[in-house]
Amino acid sequence: METDILIIGGGPAGMKAALTADKAGARVILVDESYSLGGQLKQQTQRFSRFSENSETVRGTTLSDELIKQLEVSKVKVLKKHIMIGAYQNGNIGVTDGEKTFEIQSRKKIIAPGAAENAKIFAGWTTPGVMTAGAAHILINRERVLPGKNAIMLGSNDYSLEVARQLQACGVNVKAIVEDKKQIGSSNIDLLYDMKNIPFYLNSTIEKAIGKEELEKVSVNTPDGLYEIDADLICIANGFSPIIEPFEIIGCTLVYHRELGGWLPEYNVRFQTSNPSCYIAGNAAGITSIGSILLTGEIAAISALEEIGLLGQKRAMDSRKKLWKKLSNLENDINEKTFQARFEIINHFYQKMDMMLPEEINSIKGGIHNG
């Protein structure tokens, strides 16, 4: 199988990249392991207020449906229930549907595998009834199954509080939110207001999950001592880390940055990795917001299109410059540390090669705060 651009990952970044490349006339193959496209948007019923400039809020599920409908009328070849399993010496990518394995030859690759939830280990963490917040999110919004009746949320970031809010809306009694730091992780006023009737245990940890065949009680270690809380559900929200295995397979250089979620491939202003045939997009390039995820997919696609000659250099540079400005404004508005970390990765990429920063990002360097 042969194509101009191969995209691995059918979440928002991969879909946006595929639509951008298709619009420019490229042959595109989009590969995703799931039975349906959309990634995590498929269960995100919350509204996003800043996924693009001057736009109204939209539910994640609605945004997913819109992108899927655009793909359905495009020329993009979509391979659902397929996974990337390796790379050949000639640079082709090995793909399988579980029965047949074949290789895809492409001029450029855009890899957007997303992110994975981080575990949190404590005594009894394998007890039935203990799961990630993402698993609970999938159960209530995609599978329409209540994961429990009485829940403890471990973690107080934006995502955990959003899941807690949705659990409450489904009739689950959220009995406590446990945070190991001295302050609440979220600064979202709306979310915090909705959680006002739930006890927050700060500077606290789960000592033990208690139960014979399923979760029955939770022992919480607080500054005031141990508390036992009756619960049949613990949701672990310990942040996300970029999925890096596909990049390791094709030999991309990795770097570590805590603000972006940990280990991730290094990349330049084009979202091109150290493997020149491979671009990166979405949360794999650093944990961020939905608006930024879409922008990274678009920038990666424009850069790949320029490399294969389907987009002129000036037009590509002008487009990247505008998109980087949007990305800078968006990430600095939500969490300026995210964009500062992204800039540091890109700056290091060019310093290592003894090259000047390209105009696309150099023009917004003044908006980055050191701290």
Look at residues 8, 4, 16, 10 and name the one whose alpha carbon lies nearest to residue 294.
16
Output the pLDDT for position 371. 41
The residue type found at 120 is K
Domain chopping of the chain, boundaries? 2-116+240-367, 119-236
Domain boundaries 2-116+240-367, CATH class: alpha beta
Q: Does position 10 have pLDDT exceeding 60, yes or no?
A: yes
Tell me if domain 2-116+240-367 and domain 119-236 are identical in fold. Answer: yes
3-state secondary structure the chain: CEEEEEEECCCHHHHHHHHHHHHCCCCEEEECCCCCCCHHHHHCCCEECCCCCCCCCEEHHHHHHHHHHHHHCCCCEEECCCEEEEECCCCCEEEECCCCEEEEEEEEEEECCCEEECCCCCECCCCCCEEEHHHHHHHHHCCCCCCCCEEEEECCCHHHHHHHHHHHHCCCEEEEEECCCCCCCCCCHHHHHHCCCCCEECCCEEEEEECCCCCCEEEEEECCEEEEEECCEEEECCCEEECCHHHHHCCCCEEEEHHHCEEEECECCCCEECCCCEEECHHHHCCCCHHHHHHHHHHHHHHHHHHCCCCCHHHHHHHHHHHHHHHHHHHHHHHHHHHHHHHHHHHHHHHHCCCCCCHHHHCCHHHCCCC
Domain boundaries 119-236, CATH class: alpha beta
More confident residue, 256 or 47: 256
As a whole number, the mean pLDDT across the chain is 92
pTM of the model: 0.91
Q: Does position 17 have pLDDT exceeding 80, yes or no?
A: yes
Question: What are phi and psi for residue 361, nearest 5 degrees?
Answer: -105, -25
pLDDT > 70 in the chain, percent: 96
Output the pLDDT for position 292. 93
Output the pLDDT for position 51. 57
Q: Does position 87 have pLDDT exceeding 70, yes or no?
A: yes
Output the pLDDT for position 45. 77
- The rounded distance, in Å, linking the Cα atoms of 200 and 183 is 10
Q: Does position 369 have pLDDT exceeding 70, yes or no?
A: no
Interacting residues of 355 by C-beta distance below 8 A, sequence separation 6+: none
In tens, the pLDDT along 197-250 reads 999 999 999 999 999 999 999 999 999 999 999 999 999 999 999 999 999 999
Lowest model confidence (mean pLDDT) among 12-16, 52-56, 99-103: 52-56
Contact in structure between 188 and 46 (CB atoms under 8 Å) = no
Q: Does position 253 have pLDDT exceeding 60, yes or no?
A: yes
